[in-house]
Structure 1
Amino acid sequence: MKKAVLLVILRVAKLAGLFGLARRLTARDLRILCYHGAALRDEHHFRPSLFMSKETFAARMDFLHRQGYPVITLDAAVDGLPQGDWPRGATVVTIDDGWFGTYRQMQPALGARGFPATLYIASYYFDRQTQVFNVAANYVLWRAGSQLLDLAQVAEALSGRYELADAGQRAAAWRCLDDFAETLENAEARQALFRRLCGVLGLDAGEIERERICAFMGIEEARELQASGIDIQLHSHRHRFPAESFEAARAEIEDNRRALAPVGNPALRHFCYPSGDYEAGQLAWLGRLGIASATTTDRGFTRAGDSPYELRRFLDSEEISSLEFEAEMSGFFELIRRGGYAI
């Protein structure tokens, strides 16, 4: 359905009182929101599905406060899951990955409204404190505008000339870079490649590094968030949850716990599947790993008695209008989904 048509339908539904009816019908269900990064400069224009402007995030939190949605901790939500023992309209705010923008832009909005949240940190780049190469390289290719990129100038092992104004060619250049970066031995080598790419494009890598664009927060910032009511939790170490064996999955979780231990949260018991990827056979592993809950990227509300290891969420983003957000929070979209219709 085209977005313009959808928005017209939503306006009519809201005026007809269907949002209010949906909220009453779904009041006993749990709403879990999912966010990722917050833009420090212009990242929400580069990748609006991943980065949100601080203004949009603040507006979302204002909406929850103004409309009286009680924002509760994930601990309280999971403890109440067997019987659905939550306030009416209970909402949990979750944030994935660990971007520096979460610390700089999202925490003030949450703190100003007294909202708790859960932050799932994938700890490899949290440890390394370099740019996240695959995202940062894509970002600078986008920033470069209409340049012609010769990859041979970036690294001897690369070749190909790409018109970066063309989205298809830009994506192809990024894939070449990312594939090559995966062959490098560590994050520091990938950071050196990132700096060479910036140099070829005429961009200031030092400025991007100082502003911490496309980079994760560090231990001290995570400690501040934990102290402020943002609960630091597990998202794997290398942003993957291997399905090939329990031992491989356990290594990811153990490395994640080890990296996050200095933050000071002794109860690292909640997990978010990286990219929402998991297999049914892995669910039985989570209890053995000391994990009490796991969130997915499947859209929907959580109901009493649902599995704590397949908690559904709504992935909010800069691409979603305020009216669509209201339709989701009210339960209007949820009731449509339960009727078997895709949105």
Structure 2
Amino acid sequence: MNFKIFILSLGRAVGLFALSRHLTASRVRILAYHGVWLGEGHFGNFLYMDARKFQRRMALLSKWGYPVIPLTQAIESHEKGKLPKTATVITIDDGWYSTYVHMLPTLLAYRYPATIYLTTYYCLNQVPVIDVALEYCFHQIDPVRCPEIYISDFGFGPLATGTDQEKAIALAAAVETMAGLHGDAMRQLFLQSVCKEADVDYEKLSTERWFHLMNADEVQDAAEKGITVELHTHHHRITHNDQDCLEQELVLNSGCIEEVTGRIPVHFCYPSGRFSQKIWPNLNDAGVISATTTELGLVNGQSAIYALPRLLDGQNISELEFEAEMCGFMELIRQARRFLGFPRRERH
């Protein structure tokens, strides 16, 4: 048992979890998820969760009595002070195919409303999300079998892959090479070459859609079943080549979502959670009502509407840690840390 788990166990045993829930009852809990891992073993922490763990999380929300409400209701009612105690919102980023296959049935089973922040380029273009697939490939490289990577057709390498640091350097170089290629066809050919070097089955990950987003029909079906689809940019970015591209990204993103769902999206999630107050006027001009981040925390009366904190859940978050976040115990700890001058934390 590590020190953190010991402290949390002690805190729960002496009633601090129950006290924290009472003290933070007026604050909104916005949970943040991404997808479910479809491949062998496990990959990712905050990006992909095991399907059974997600089912268990939803069961715990029900068991512990946290009222799950739509994001729109949370935003509107919070401003008026008319929320149920410990109001909880479920948000899911990106719109992964695995979200549709595994998360949607679980949400429907519990009748939980949820918001999917959809990034639309890979929704319309049904190929593996290449930067994430590349990360998986380098994660899978056996340094004994493949101490270096070299793809002559693309002028890539040779680069050492014997250590985690070397893999990270090689991955960054692969992402840079990929960015310089024109069109999905060439980028997927590059991914196939990397898969071959890493001994990863490209056909399997592509056919089983490990790194695919939902297609338009699946997004439409989710929306028809009560899931709200909101903004996450078209290409999962707000800058390109060091230039601001937020306005164009929102226009493309909103247009695609409106065409598929029949409604205009008005809530936004920053790609990768990073944001600047400088773009808030742009969000307002685009008709965006709220924006969420990856800053850890509960929403209170002082939370900026374009910088709403969330509780980012992940594969490596224990049930006790999840309970500590939901009851507000960790929020009070963070509040004490900020009072003492420690910086705010994020999860990525």
The alignment of Structure 1 onto Structure 2 pairs a total of residues equal to 338
Equivalents in 2 of 1:81, 1:28: separation in Å?
Answer: 9
Q: Is the 8 A contact 1:56 1:318 kept in 2?
A: yes
Match of 1:20?
18
1:230-270 C-alpha deviation (Å, 9 max, x unpaired): 11110011111239877x32111001112223321413100
Q: Is the 8 A contact 1:29 1:89 kept in 2?
A: yes
- Match 2:112 to one of 97, 111, 115: 115
SS in 1 for 2:2: helix
Q: Is the 8 A contact 1:29 1:84 kept in 2?
A: no
Q: Say what the alpha-carbon RMSD is for the aligned residues.
A: 2.0
Once the two structures are TM-superposed, the CA of residue 154 in structure 1 deviates from its matched residue by 5.5
Match of 1:100?
97
Aligned AA (2:249)? E
Tell which deviates more after alignment, 302-311 or 8-17.
Answer: 302-311
Q: Is the 8 A contact 1:226 1:265 kept in 2?
A: no
Q: Is the 8 A contact 2:92 2:115 kept in 1?
A: yes
> Are residues 1:279 and 2:272 paired?
no
Match of 1:31?
29
Q: Is the 8 A contact 1:31 1:301 kept in 2?
A: yes
Aligned AA (1:87)? P
> Are residues 1:263 and 2:260 paired?
yes
The change in CA–CA distance for 1:305 and 1:163 in structure 2 (over 3 A counts) is: closer
Aligned AA (1:183)? G
1:188-235 C-alpha deviation (Å, 9 max, x unpaired): 221111112223344321111110011211111111111122111100
Equivalents in 1 of 2:154, 2:283: separation in Å?
Answer: 44
Q: Is the 8 A contact 1:283 1:309 kept in 2?
A: yes
> Are residues 1:315 and 2:312 paired?
yes
1:145-175 C-alpha deviation (Å, 9 max, x unpaired): 34316543363411214335x3222222211
Equivalents in 2 of 1:297, 1:216: separation in Å?
Answer: 21
Equivalents in 1 of 2:53, 2:265: separation in Å?
Answer: 30
Equivalents in 2 of 1:53, 1:280: separation in Å?
Answer: 35
> Are residues 1:338 and 2:335 paired?
yes
Match of 2:129?
132
Q: Is the 8 A contact 1:130 1:188 kept in 2?
A: no
The change in CA–CA distance for 1:30 and 1:202 in structure 2 (over 3 A counts) is: closer
Unpaired runs of 5+ residues, structure 2, are: none
Aligned AA (2:291)? A
Match of 2:231?
234
Q: Is the 8 A contact 1:97 1:121 kept in 2?
A: yes
Q: Is the 8 A contact 2:233 2:252 kept in 1?
A: yes
Q: Give the fraction of aligned pairs with identical amino acids, expressed as a percent.
A: 34
1:109-161 C-alpha deviation (Å, 9 max, x unpaired): 11111101000011121121111111101212323434316543363411214
Match of 2:151?
153
Match of 1:73?
70
1:265-290 C-alpha deviation (Å, 9 max, x unpaired): 41310000111122112112212101
SS in 2 for 1:175: helix
> Are residues 1:185 and 2:182 paired?
yes
TM-score, structure 1 normalization: 0.93
Q: Is the 8 A contact 2:119 2:236 kept in 1?
A: yes
Equivalents in 2 of 1:18, 1:232: separation in Å?
Answer: 37
Please give the residue correspondences for 1:204-215 in structure 2 after superposition, counting only pairs within 5 Å: 204-215=201-212
Equivalents in 2 of 1:321, 1:301: separation in Å?
Answer: 19
Tell which deviates more after alignment, 233-242 or 322-331.
Answer: 233-242
The change in CA–CA distance for 1:185 and 1:156 in structure 2 (over 3 A counts) is: closer
Q: Is the 8 A contact 1:83 1:305 kept in 2?
A: no
Q: Is the 8 A contact 1:84 1:303 kept in 2?
A: no
The change in CA–CA distance for 1:75 and 1:120 in structure 2 (over 3 A counts) is: same
Match of 2:193?
196
Match of 2:139?
142
Once the two structures are TM-superposed, the CA of residue 64 in structure 1 deviates from its matched residue by 0.4
Q: Following TM superposition, where does structure 1 have runs of at least 4 consecutive aligned residues deviating by more than 4 angstroms?
A: 243-246
Aligned AA (1:10)? L
Equivalents in 1 of 2:220, 2:197: separation in Å?
Answer: 37
Match of 2:81?
84
TM-score, structure 2 normalization: 0.91
